[in-house]
Structure 1
Amino acid sequence: MKIQNMLWGAAFAALPLAAQAQPISGVYVGAGVGANWGVATDLRPNGALTAGLRSAGFPANDGRTSFETGVVGVVSVGYGFGNGLRLEGEIGYRNNDANGISGFGPAVGSGRIPGTNGTRHTASFMANALYDFQIPGVPWVMPYIGAGIGAALTGFTSSASTFTVPGTLVRTDYNGDITVFAYQAIAGLAFPIAQVPGLAVTAEYRYFATTEVKYSTTASFAPTGRQLATGSITVDNGNHSALLGIRYAFNQAPPPPPPMAVAPAPAPARTFLVFFDWDRYDLTDRARQIISEAANNYRTVGSTRIEVSGHADRTGTHAYNQRLSERRASAVAAELVRQGVPQGAITTQGFSFDRPLVPTAQGVREPQNRRVEIVLR
């Protein structure tokens, strides 16, 4: 319990460094460590092992083993699509000491068998799909959920177990590591670090399990080593994990600059706004009327140049909206030329979603931010 409290405490200690949480776009890497709690499992001998032991005069009922709190570590490489969805490949490792064995016959009842020990280790190779959520009004944290499937290589170290039958000892040996199908469920929180765009501290809960693991088993008479029976013992492999980690997304766009001081508004006849539909840069009839007014004003007022600036709302990636804002500016500039304004008098530029007219959170469609500003100088 102390390990779990330390993990969560460390995660919340990072909150003063938090920045605006944004979905990942592009490649990222991650790693995490923490505590692992193995679920207690029955030890189920198969028919051959059961029959061999009983024919030799020994009970062969099911046993049960539990586990001490162990450790878990994971590393991952993934790709985010900018809309909350992420796919990643992950390598993990779990290690738990066995907390004794009980059962295996009326001679030992439900008490723990003295002298039994061993460590269960599991290496996993997983493919995960995850989804990040943005919480309105809570910019410093991004929850996420996910699931994964893959393969696990699992086995016991020093796994020989000995159980007592009146006046005798029977020894069972589990042989080798076994590869089995594995699956997991993930729930976590990411806390972005303002000083390093793309860097985040993560806190996760995971449930990791495999299909049944069947170990080849040999039972022998402990005092002499005489073999009594061979067969297999089947166990389950379930785990609850709590991890604290770190994640870094490459090429993550820096957060937008703080709002600039508002300059005095220019005379209404010197600035014109042209608005666009979402994810479009073609001109509507109303847009052409406004551009025509700007062209007429250029001729009557005697301006020397026209600045055409394209903008976008905060949906999609920064790079995509940069191209979209430039296309909007180019469309307006082309219409100004068609209306008689000299090409050499026009300068165009795009600002993606860095200069919103109405500040919004990432992912919000705001019509007033999808605009081109025409400024006569």
Structure 2
Amino acid sequence: MRLRTALLATTLMAAAPVAANATIITGPYVDLGGGYNLVQTQHGHFNGDGYNNPATGLSSSRYRHKDGFTGFGSFGWGFGNGLRAEVEGVYNYSELNHRSGPANTTSGSDQSYGGLVNVLYDIDLKQFGIDVPITPFVGIGAGYLWQHYNPTTTYYANTPYSTRLGGTRGGFAYQGIVGAAYDIPDVPGLQLTVQYRMLGQTGFGGSVGPFPQSSFNQYGRTEGHVNFDNRFNHQFILGLRYAFDTAPPPPPPAPVVVPPAPTPARTYLVFFDWDRSDLTARAREIVAEAAQASTHVQTTRIEVNGYTDNSAAHPGARGQKYNLGLSIRRADSVKAELIRDGVPATAIDVHGYGEAHPLVPTGPNTREPQNRRVEIILH
């Protein structure tokens, strides 16, 4: 139950929702942490235990651990691609409160200390489209730990018999690591870490050497020893990590520039047949386009200007006067069509310029189709 609860707490802390960019370490860093140390029940094989097996002095028992704590400090290097390597010093402590077998009372504690080399990998969540200031990581480590049993005594009920365990031995250690780092806001390089570690240590016995044990009864003291199987620590750790050379976060992506929609033309030309002021089918289409455009652009006034070429049905000044009137009639035809297309009459100004301002310069008395026109100008 204790193991399940601690695992759940570590998972919830690592999954807390936040928002910002996570840091991938580049360069040197230091890491400090501490937390709860839960040791699995240990199996011991006893030689010289005359109470449990008087005939041979051989027996097996299990030592149950209670509360404990762990602390570590490490110095490492981040390679900027998620990989890190570090050297770690660690200290573990655990209470012992029970030995299996006949009714007994057991009290004592043990501790381990030493060093490990760890290789870890930070998982950049941004590559999965997740932009949060949390960096999960996994790792493995190996090293050497000394295991020390403080005097641990077992008293058997209703007997004068007791045993005492103690001593220090060293051996190979290994660990697996999983955790997450949270970037502290406004403090570049500083991270809060939560992690779970499974720390294992090879058994003690054989060439490594067992732990000494003493047995006491009414006849005196008997010396023996204990061979322990592999030891497993489950550790739930809260820590602080500081990277000395934190790379600045990448610049934000450039904003996407949406090109402006093309602006509708503000000048439209309507052409007429010679000596005519009525609109052709094509001329009505152009007037309709101008009317539609006036609703899509900011328009305060529509200017309608009529023109003719310099040919005329009558010679001289009489012809010029005639062409002036013809240009006004053409402009009026366009105005009437604009009104039919929904343009308010009050927004339209009509002008007639006769032969003046030709679009194409010509000689006298020339029938030029492009000069027989009305210009619709959106202001």
Aligned partner (choices 199, 208, 219) of residue 199 of structure 2: 208
Residue number in structure 2 paired with 1:76: 74
* TM-score, normalised via structure 1 length: 0.58
Instruction: Quote the Cα distance in structure 2 between the aligned partners of 1:182 and 1:55.
Output: 33
Residue number in structure 2 paired with 1:92: 90
Paired residues for 1:85-124 under 5 Å:
85-103=83-101, 108=102, 113-114=104-105, 116-124=106-114
Gaps of 5+ in 1: 266-377
Residue number in structure 2 paired with 1:137: 129
Contact persistence 1:172–1:218 (CA under 8 A): yes
Contact persistence 1:53–1:60 (CA under 8 A): no
AA of the residue aligned to 1:144: F
Give CA deviations for 1:142-173 in whole Å, capped at 9, x if unaligned: 11111000011112223133335xx6433333
How far off is 1:190 after superposition?
A: 1.3
**Secondary structure of residue in 2 paired with 1:188:** strand
Residue number in structure 1 paired with 2:214: 219
Instruction: Quote the Cα distance in structure 2 between the aligned partners of 1:153 and 1:41.
Output: 16
Instruction: Quote the Cα distance in structure 2 between the aligned partners of 1:157 and 1:186.
Output: 28
Q: 1:53 to 1:132 in 2, by over 3 A?
A: same
Q: 1:38 to 1:263 in 2, by over 3 A?
A: same
Instruction: Quote the Cα distance in structure 2 between the aligned partners of 1:12 and 1:227.
Output: 56
Aligned partner (choices 129, 136, 144) of residue 151 of structure 1: 144
Paired residues for 1:15-26 under 5 Å:
16=18, 19-26=20-27
Instruction: Quote the Cα distance in structure 2 between the aligned partners of 1:131 and 1:7.
Output: 18
**Secondary structure of residue in 1 paired with 2:152:** coil
Aligned partner (choices 233, 251, 256) of residue 239 of structure 1: 233
1:175 matched to 2:169? The reply is no
* TM-score, normalised via structure 2 length: 0.58
Instruction: Quote the Cα distance in structure 2 between the aligned partners of 1:100 and 1:196.
Output: 47
Instruction: Quote the Cα distance in structure 1 between the aligned partners of 2:258 and 2:99.
Output: 79
Contact persistence 1:29–1:78 (CA under 8 A): yes
How far off is 1:122 after superposition?
A: 1.2
How many pairs align? 249
Instruction: Quote the Cα distance in structure 1 between the aligned partners of 2:124 and 2:53.
Output: 64
Instruction: Quote the Cα distance in structure 2 between the aligned partners of 1:54 and 1:74.
Output: 39
AA of the residue aligned to 1:246: L
Q: Over aligned residue pairs, what C-alpha RMSD do you find?
A: 2.9
Same amino acid, percent of matched pairs? 32
How far off is 1:257 after superposition?
A: 4.7
Paired residues for 1:33-52 under 5 Å:
33-46=34-47, 49=48
How far off is 1:28 after superposition?
A: 0.5
Instruction: Quote the Cα distance in structure 2 between the aligned partners of 1:11 and 1:131.
Output: 16
Contact persistence 1:183–1:208 (CA under 8 A): yes
AA of the residue aligned to 2:35: G
**Secondary structure of residue in 1 paired with 2:202:** strand
Aligned partner (choices 113, 118, 131) of residue 128 of structure 1: 118
How far off is 1:235 after superposition?
A: 4.2
Contact persistence 1:53–1:229 (CA under 8 A): no
Contact persistence 1:197–1:255 (CA under 8 A): no
How far off is 1:67 after superposition?
A: 1.0
**Secondary structure of residue in 2 paired with 1:139:** coil
How far off is 1:93 after superposition?
A: 1.4
How far off is 1:98 after superposition?
A: 0.9
**Secondary structure of residue in 2 paired with 1:117:** strand
Contact persistence 1:170–1:219 (CA under 8 A): no
